[in-house]
Chains A and B, each alone.
Chain A
Amino acid sequence: MAGAEDVRVLGVLASPFAMRPRIALNLKKVEYEFVVETMNPKSELLLKSNPVYKKIPVLIHNGNPVCESLVIVQYIDEVWSSSQPILPADPYDRAVARFWAAYIDDKWFPSLMGIAKAQTDADRASSTEQMLAGLQLLEEAFATCSKGKPFFGGDALGYLDIALGCYLGWVRAIGQMYAIQVLDGAKTPQLAAWAERFCADEAVKEVMPETETLVEFAKMMAARWKAAPAPAK
């Protein structure tokens, strides 16, 4: 019951991870307050709510924090279980959705960001190749999961749509900055069409940042990425 609960999402506009709980809450038609985190310095609220990672997003539900974006999405699905389901009903379909969401975060997104962080042309080319190869896998996954319907989740947005779709703003920004056709209508036609539908969805429209905002953010981060030393082996 929306009025009786205190639901806050602590996040920043540029973060794809912070979009995930917001989309999930929108799908469930749960009212919430979006609290923009200051980041530099990190707020008391953030440090108190996520002492382990000190990262956004954090969902604060009746004063209790939940951390890690995909953990939050599952929590939202379980708490508001009577409305719009986010995870599929069938155990095997759930496993497939979870598998690809983990792949997207652990493998695919790092390769996308690798394009922006690369210091040499060779590194950039390598990251681009990895990222595009990953998209081919996701194109096949879309066919398997959607079963001919508009979204990974079927007729409506689901867990895997949220997991991948939150990155679309960055896909556009990086594509623009480095002149890469990321979602190619020829190579990944299903994903290209899905991306349009995802961004147009009522639950997504208001929380997807403008591409220009992300491009500016990336330019600001570029200096930091240049200065960062390579991780110790």
Chain B
Amino acid sequence: MQLRAERGREMEKDEVILLDFWASPFAARVKIALAEKGVEYKAREEDLLESKSPLLLQSNPVHKKVPVLLHKGKPVCESLVILDYIDDVWPSPPLLPQYPRARATARFWAHFADTKLFEAGTRVWKSKPVGEARRQAAGDFIEALKLLEGALVDDKEYFGGERFGYLDAVVAPLTSWFHAYELCGGFKVADECPVFDAWAKRCAARENVAAALPDPDQVYELVWMMRRMYDIE
């Protein structure tokens, strides 16, 4: 009953609510996008390691994951879908590039970042410390990162060019997990991909990005806790 009344009030006020988790790079993307647009919102922290809130389970019954954006009481799920939605509802300043070809390129690399880069990084920390799986994962991660680095062309400041945009917002949060991957995988991103590393530092210097990104040391602590939980040793 209270939940419905609460949502009713939210609908009236046209409020923007983000169901969040401090370490989630996917939620961080949404925070960056909203900040870039100057949209005020309330972030509600989910305690994902304990139990998911009724609001989360109700808003995202299919995946039960963060981030979820609640706008006028209606949920939008999946970070890339949310970013598109934010760009549609609040067009200025634009997040995606203006022209179809550049937009397609940005979408292509966003999908790559999730399915190849983040996926390999996850395998790095989830694998046993000794063995082929860890080596393979580290190799896959660096290979994926080098490909993504290739999209930063011609001394461009950002993926989109001179302006911070969609692909920057998509990839920057993933970098907060790199410290954990480096320690688990035995490599350094700065050595392997210096151009990417320089881009990451430029993004981290932006106020909207710095405010959204989780602390890499805290992420590493979380990774260690999860490794114990999953019994990976």
Contact = CB atoms under 8 A, between A and B. Distances in A.
A68 interface: yes
A193 to B, nearest CB: 23
Interface string A54-70: 00000000001011100
Contacts of B133: 232-233
B89 interface: yes
Interface stretch (A22-30, A71-79, A109-117, A167-175): A71-79
Contacts of B132: 232
A52 interface: yes
A68 B81 contact: no
Interface string A64-97: 1011100110110011000000000001101100
Contacts of B157: none
B116 to A, nearest CB: 8
Q: Is the interface of A mostly helix, strand, loop or mixed?
A: helix
Contacts of A67: 108
B81 A95 contact: yes
A75 B104 CA distance: 6
Contact of A71 (B74, B77, B104): B104
Nearest to A75: B104
Interface stretch (A6-14, A98-106, A145-153, A200-208): A98-106
Contact of A91 (B89, B103, B108, B147): B89
A74 to B, nearest CB: 7
B54 interface: no
Nearest to A100: B62
Nearest to A51: B147
A81 to B, nearest CB: 9
A55 to B, nearest CB: 12
A45 interface: no
B13 interface: no
Interface residues of B, number: 26
Contacts of A102: 78, 80-81
B74 A92 contact: yes
B112 A98 contact: no
Of B62, B104, B111, most A-chain CB atoms within 10 Å: B104
B206 interface: no
Given A68-B111, A232-B132, A79 B100 contact: yes
Contacts of A98: 78, 80-81, 84
A35 interface: no
Given A68-B111, A94-B85, A232 B136 contact: yes
A91 B90 CA distance: 10
B172 interface: no
B47 interface: no
A137 interface: yes
Interface string A196-233: 00000000000000000000000000000000000011
B85 A95 contact: yes
Q: Which of B82, B100, B132 has the most CB of A within 10 A?
A: B100
Nearest to B123: A232
A75 B101 contact: yes
B107 interface: yes
B104 A74 contact: yes
B230 to A, nearest CB: 11
Contacts of B136: 232
Given A75-B103, A232-B133, 16 more contacts: A66-B108, A67-B108, A71-B104, A74-B107, A75-B101, A78-B103, A79-B100, A91-B85, A92-B71, A95-B84, A98-B81, A98-B84, A102-B78, A102-B80, A102-B81, A233-B127
Interface of B: 62, 71, 74, 76-78, 80-82, 84-85, 88-89, 100-101, 103-104, 107-108, 111-112, 127, 132-133, 136, 147
